Amino acid sequence: MYRPHLLKTTFIVSVLLFLSSCDNSDHPLPFAYVQTIAKGRALMRETVADPGVVSASLALIDDERIVWSETFGVIDKASQTPPGPDTMFAIGSTSKTFAGLAVMKLVDQGKIDLDTPVVHYLPDFHMLSSEYTQVTPRMLLAHAAGFPGGDYRNDVTYAPQTGFAEQVQETLATQRLKFTPGEMATYCNDCFTMIDRLVAAVSDQHSYTRFVREEIFKPLGMTHTRFAEAPFPPGSYAQYYLPESVIPDPQIYTNSYPAGGIYSTPNDMARVATMLMNGGRFGGVSILSEQAVAEMGRDQTQDLVFNPVTGDSFGLGWDFVAYPGLASVGVRAWSKPGGTAGYVTQFIVAPDERLAVFVTGAGMTFNAYKPAESILLNALAERGSIPAVPEPLPSQPLPEKPATDAELAAISGDYADFKGLYRVSANDHTLAIDTYMGGVWYETARNLKLRTDGKFSSDDNPNMAYWVVNGLGHRYLARHYPGILGHYLNEEVMGQSLEPAAPLSAAWRQRAGQHWLIVNEVASSLHLVRDKVRFALYALDSLPGYLFAGSTMIPSTIVDPSGSDDEARMFLKVPMTNGRDLNDVVIEARDGEEWVRYGSALYRPQARVPELPAGDSRVMIGAEGFAEWRKLPTSGSLTINGASAWKLYDADFSQPPISGTDHDHRVVSPANAYLMLFGAPHATITLSMAEG
């Protein structure tokens, strides 16, 4: 049997840990997995050796026991302290599995029916589209409600924030649906944020986080799993570092608790895996009914109107209930990956094999998906559940079928997803694809030939193939490509076809190329430090009639301004991941200026920001509490007094800002810098600018 030992840079936490207090004498010791552990350890060491990775932790679970648990890297660069078995990691969207567990617990209690409209439980929930009354709890958990996407304002911060779920519900009241509820599934954080409101409304605890703690964490014995509602003790969690930095980022708080707000450990998550593999029971305690677990693991996309490719197979809180890396070898598995602000997680449960893995880590370039898939496949092969770890697919092109002009025309054109544009063009009976993202065109594929399977691929990369599917009155560009370990093909809808549009109106032409600055983000927001604080509208000469909108998290989302001079509308209906996070662009007149509202974010025109004069001046925060902006035309010494917080950005917002809080501060400012000031409504901030 494999025996643990201590290493200098890694710490093997446990082997054959009992997960429950039940009598294990009836359960034979599991397979030792010596080869799986050796290969997995080598892969993890290689992964953590990347300068962009800080630390990682994992657990392999067989039945009711952790057969391998190990940590890698450091959680403190200065002291070179390694993670321990109880070191928590932010698990990001893997938190959505707990939202599924919470709702199904309430279903078991008879307090929620999955197919009763949400308005029955939340009478104050409403949207601009009348079909919002059709949204059900099932649709929320399966990303099928039709909400625009995710509200990123104040979603991840460096200080705890309450009321985010209320913010999302208030924002939804001002928004349209992007598709009819139940028509398709498109990944949506706001669907899960609304689970917070739903659980709080119907549970005895009247709080989502309290309900999950009392009904899931405690009975499972998850003593090192927390919602990020307050600062954690130093050393209790894995810190995130930017590459080459020796100073860690502050603790992050993902304020949508159901969508991404949990910190946990692999050993704690092993308890969740065991409970699910036991049909809802853990150590003699019933967490869920067997029927509830089964419904969570049923493919909800099969009931949708439009589901054109076999990509993600959403369950209730699962992204995959037929995880392709294991389905390709005949093994049923549920999976929920997660990522938030420098942390990445993969959680896979194979219930029929009674095998699971949880891999998590911190770092800009950490990849949890490859190790997790590799460990499970090696474990299945080592114990004989599958003949061998599958080899990557052969790279052999199918025979060419010369494309007719009609076949080329059927796929050529412009297609858009939530983050950019794809242009498919024909040349000498082959296709080329270019991608427009963030204002730049990139060459994506060349010399794509029609094959006997009806798809276009190149001789050099035959497993990356493209074709068109039709539905809902649109053409969609689809593709398949090799999965994580290369032994299977993933399918996805890339984008929706764009029809010719009327030229932009004079009002929209004038706005194209302009920038706006956000005013209603909290001072502790991560986005004000790591991402752009500006919103931009711009047009492409080669695609007249449309606009691209760029904000904090979305680089270039296409909108249709043809219906109004005050609103450019979201219009894409793309299933699964590539249709997420859309919003209307709404122009609001404020004090003679044109402000922009995008989701819940409000932006003021950058060109109208007042200049800060030399000498002493005062700035008053308005009644709504919005941040004030000032431009500093010259360099010099700036003193700030009375602001609850402030941030100083360079002229083109290309670097992280200099930040301060509520004390008297003096800072050297470059020329053409922009100052963002925070304070309570009606607060007065005193500024003094000395040139030089």
Residue 15 confidence (pLDDT) above 50: no
38 in helix, strand or coil? helix
156 by Cβ neighbours in 10 Å (0-12 / 13-18 / 19+) ranks as buried
Whether this prediction's pTM lies above 0.85 is answered by yes
Domain boundary among 347, 382, 417: 382
Q: At which residue do the structure tokens 């000032």 appear? A: 630
DSSP letter assigned to residue 186:
B
Same domain assignment for residues 557 and 663: no
Indicate the angle between helix axes 189-202 and 164-172, nearest 10 degrees.
110
Going by their DSSP bridges, the two strands 628-632 and 615-620 should be labelled as unpaired
| One domain for residues 202 and 275 | yes
Task: Read off the pLDDT of residues 157-180 as tens digits, 9 standing for 90 and up.
Answer: 999 999 999 999 999 999 999 999
Rounded-to-integer distance, Cα 331 and Cα 98, Å: 24
- Between the alpha carbon of residue 204 and those of residues 199, 201, 212, 630, the distances in Å are 9, 9, 12, 48
Q: Which two tokens stand for residue 298?
A: 């049923």
Indicate the pairing of strand 430-437 with strand 440-450.
antiparallel
For residue 235, pLDDT beyond 90? yes
pLDDT at 248: 94
Is residue 559, in this structure, part of any structural domain at all?
Answer: yes
The residues near 673 (Cβ < 8 Å, ≥ 6 apart) are 631, 632, 635, 648, 649, 650, 651
DSSP notation for 233-257: PTTSBPPP--TT-SSPPPPPEES-H
Q: CB under 8 Å to 438, separation ≥6 — which residues?
A: 420, 550, 555, 556
Q: Supply 83's token pair.
A: 């993670």
* 615 and 513 in a common domain: no
Question: Model confidence over 17-50: pLDDT tens digits?
Answer: 445 433 333 445 568 999 999 999 999 999 999 9
What does the pLDDT read at residue 30? 64
Residue 477 pLDDT: 97
420: pLDDT confidence band, cut at 50, 70 and 90?
confident
Beta 615-620 vs 645-649: how paired, if at all? Answer: unpaired
| pLDDT score of 663 | 73
In a domain, 421, yes or no: yes
Structural domain includes residue 54? no
Q: How far is CA 332 from the centre of its chain?
A: 24
User: What is the DSSP secondary structure assignment for residue 507, as one 8-state letter?
Assistant: H
Q: Which helix (H) or strand (E) holds 295?
A: helix 290-296
* Cβ–Cβ < 8 Å for 181, 131: yes
218 shares a domain with 143? yes
pLDDT of residue 532: 77
In a domain, 276, yes or no: yes
* pLDDT at 231 > cutoff 80: yes
CATH number at residue 145: 3.40.710.10
448 has which bridge partners? 431
Q: What are 430-488's pLDDT values in tens digits?
A: 999 999 877 788 999 999 999 999 999 999 999 999 999 999 999 999 999 999 999 99
* Within a domain: 60: no
Nearest to 361 by CA among 340, 385, 345, 337: 345
Say if residue 261 is in the same domain as residue 132: yes
Pairing of the two strands 65-73 and 413-417: unpaired
Edge-first strand order for the sheet with 615-620 is 615-620, 684-691, 636-641, 665-669
Rg of the chain on CA atoms, in Å: 26
List 491's β-bridge partners, or say none.
480
Are 598 and 616 members of one domain?
no
Q: C-alpha distances in angstroms, 294 versus 217, 276, 286, 383?
A: 20, 9, 15, 26
pLDDT grade, residue 524 (50/70/90)?
very high
Same domain, 345 and 325: yes
| pLDDT higher than 70, residue 395 | yes
pLDDT at 437: 79
* SS3 assignment, position 114: coil
- pLDDT, residue 506, reads 97
Tell me the sheet residues that pair with 156: 254
Same domain, 472 and 555: no
CA distance 439 to 556: 7
Q: Could you give phi then psi for residue 222, rounded to 5 degrees?
A: -85, 80
- Cα 94 from Cα 119, distance rounded (Å): 27
470 and 527: one domain? no
For the chain, what is the mean pLDDT? Answer: 93
Which of residues 575, 606, 637 is at a domain's end? 606
* Position 568 pLDDT exceeds 90: yes
Q: Give the confidence band of 14 by pLDDT, cuts at 50, 70, 90.
A: very low
pLDDT of residue 646: 96
Q: What angle do CA 259, 260, 264 make, to 5 degrees?
A: 135
Question: What's the CATH number where 667 sits?
Answer: 2.60.120.380
Does the pLDDT value for residue 5 go beyond 60? no
User: d(Cα 570, Cα 557) in Å, to the nearest integer?
Assistant: 9
The residue among 573, 606, 639 that closes a domain is 606
Is 411:494 a contact under the CB 8 Å cutoff? no
Based on the domain organization, do 432 and 480 belong to the same domain? yes
Mean pLDDT value across residues 515-530: 95
User: Looking at residues 11-18, what average pLDDT do you find?
Assistant: 43
Residues 364 and 225 in one domain: yes
Is 103 in contact with 199 (CB distance < 8 Å)?
A: yes
Range of the domain at 140: 90-382
Tell me the sheet residues that pair with 86: none
The sign of the dihedral angle between the CA atoms of 138, 140, 142, 148 is positive
Q: What angle do CA 26, 28, 31 make, to 5 degrees?
A: 160
Measured CA to CA, the distance from residue 360 to residue 167 in angstroms comes to 29
Q: What domain count does the chain have?
A: 4
Residue recorded with tokens 């029971």: 281
Residues 323 and 363 both lie in one domain: yes
Helix (H) or strand (E) holding 482: strand 474-482
Give a yes or no: residue 59 inside a domain.
no
CA distances 301 to 186, 213, 291, Å, are 10, 30, 19
Structure tokens at 120: 């029955």
| Confidence at residue 57, expressed as pLDDT on a 0 to 100 scale | 98
Residue 99 lies in a domain: yes
Asked, for residue 655, whether it belongs to a domain, the answer is yes
In the sheet with 557-559, reading across from the earlier edge strand, the strands are 557-559, 547-550, 534-538, 515-518, 601-605, 593-598, 585-590, 567-568
